[in-house]
Amino acid sequence: MEDCLFCKIVAGEIPADVVHQTERTVAFRDLNPQAPMHVLVVPRDHHANAAELAAADPQASAELVTTAAAVAAAEGHDDYRIVFNTGPGVGQSVFHTHLHVLAGRAMTWPPG
């Protein structure tokens, strides 16, 4: 997608603080962190949201979670939260699948 912010980050057209990469994923720090560690994990291929990615490429969905665990471990966190927002009604603002990895502070339940 030519206008997709995250596609441009994956392609290296827009700089980001990349903390981890695999053949299929890129993880970078969120510009508006909601926790001391707040990293976004995105697939290199464009899919609008988590449901679309899961239907098209379940293995890529699993790799996002595996990458999230690797990021948390590399940053020294055993406890972390992972969040997918799917749709504008729940706060998705960039329509390229992305997983939020948050750690470093107490998380309340329910979130939001």
Catalytic residues: 98
Residue 95 DSSP code: -
| CA dist list (Å): 91 to 65, 72, 79, 96 | 20, 23, 23, 13
Dist CA 21 CA 17 (whole Å) = 11
Dist CA 72 CA 37 (whole Å) = 8
Sign of CA dihedral 82, 85, 98, 9: negative
The verdict on whether omega for the bond into residue 15 sits within 30 degrees of 0, i.e. cis, is no
